[in-house]
Amino acid sequence: MLSSIISLILVVVISACSISLTPVFADGLFEEKLSAAFGDRKANLVIKMMPPVVTTETLMNKTQKPVIEFMLSDSNTNKSFSHVTYFITIEKEGKRLLSDWFHDDAGNLRIQMKPSNLSQVVVYGEQDPILNAYSGTSESPVIAASPIFLEGGLYHFIVRIVTVDYDRTMLPDDKQPVFDGYLSVGNVENYGAVIAGKETPIKIISYYDKLRNITFDSKESELSFTMPFNCNLSRIQNVNIFVHEEISIPKSSNFTSPSYMGIINGVDMSKQLYLDNSNPREDIIHFMLPKDKLVSLAEQMKYDSTSSTGLMKFILKPSTQAGTNVTSMTAMS
């Protein structure tokens, strides 16, 4: 199931384009691939979360120790740059959670995130006496204990490259590439829907932002929920952006169906639904919204006076109409 989800996301998410001497922006899920030029050279930066799917539920259960990997390579040769110093800032909803120096001689830096209620970030790792940058190894990465990943949603990564090739030779300020990206932690909501007089556990995971107003209309057989969404068109058009919502329904429920309709703010988005029915106990339906769909939704949210500004309203319901079947993820594998 996990491999199917990851493969599908890789198909849908669009790679970031190259920008010279300016910050590079993206808005991703579990991996960002960014490019930028500095001087006469071009670099690719991969920001990757391991494991790829991290949720508030798995973090709360202490079953995951997520690691963020930063890999800087030459765009022409695909070889990693050596002696890379990173100045990394991580934010969520405008609040700074981490801002510090890190270094890796091989260019591939790993930071293990340790979610904590500490008021101040504590970083564990070997610290260079001159650069004051933390470093570790692939077997023993740097550990950052902080409020990072305590909540679900998007985490903003701002990465500035300060040295390459040599530990003690800093790039000029105007030649230091800055990469802007986002990684997602799934926010898990468990909801008890009364279906045919029986309480049915439905799990919803939002990889973009926290959900609100989860309800089930038994008369219409509709599951609905809302999610905050910044509908600023210039922001959406200038970043790589992707919204993913995941709904798990027990197969024994009267709500399960071979065919569903997905509606967002009154717009039929059934073609953006994907069904994973490989689990014998539950069906998992995914809303997968790439950039072009989000642009059209944002336009409607901005100009339609009947829409709640800044909110996406999702509706999922079984359908018997021809042509509304969701795409089966098992058929795609």
Please tell me whether residues 133 and 18 are part of one structural domain. yes
Half-sphere exposure of 185 (CA within 13 A, CB side): 23
pLDDT category at 251 given cuts 50, 70, 90 is very high
Average pLDDT over residues 232-252: 87
Per-residue pLDDT at 11: 40
What is the average per-residue pLDDT within 271-281? 90
pLDDT at res. 327: 54
Reported as a single tens digit per residue, the pLDDT across 154-202 is 899 999 999 999 988 999 998 999 999 899 999 999 999 999 889 999 9
Look at the pTM and tell me if it is higher than 0.85. no
State the average pLDDT over residues 224-239.
Answer: 86
Is the same domain home to 170 and 111?
yes
Whether the pLDDT of residue 233 is over 90: the answer is no
* Residues 258, 308 share a domain: yes
Instruction: Point out the domain boundary residue: 133, 158, 185.
Output: 185
Reported as type and span, the H/E element at residue 20 is strand 19-20
Residue entry with tokens 């970043």? 239
pLDDT band for position 99 (cuts 50, 70, 90): very high
Percentage of the chain modeled with pLDDT above 70: 86
In this structure, the answer to whether residues 116 and 78 fall within a common structural domain is yes
Supply the range of the domain harboring residue 83: 2-185
- One domain for residues 246 and 214: yes
Same domain? For 173 and 49 the reply is: yes
Q: How confident is the model at residue 18 (pLDDT cuts 50, 70, 90)?
A: very low
Domain shared by 126 and 144, yes or no? yes
Q: Average of pLDDT values for 81-94?
A: 94
Mean pLDDT across 95-107: 94
114 and 207 housed in the same domain: no
**Residue 28 pLDDT:** 54
Residue-level pLDDT at 321: 63
Domain boundary, last residue among 185, 217, 237 = 185
**Residue 262 reports pLDDT greater than 70:** yes
Q: Output the pLDDT for position 328.
A: 53
Domain edge (last residue) among 138, 153, 185: 185
Give the residue-averaged pLDDT of 21-37: 69
Among the ranges given (6-15, 35-44, 196-205, 237-246), the one the predictor scored with the smallest mean pLDDT: 6-15
Say if residue 134 is in the same domain as residue 224: no
**In the predicted model, what is the mean pLDDT of the chain?**
84
pLDDT of residue 21: 35
Q: How many distinct structural domains can be found in the chain?
A: 2
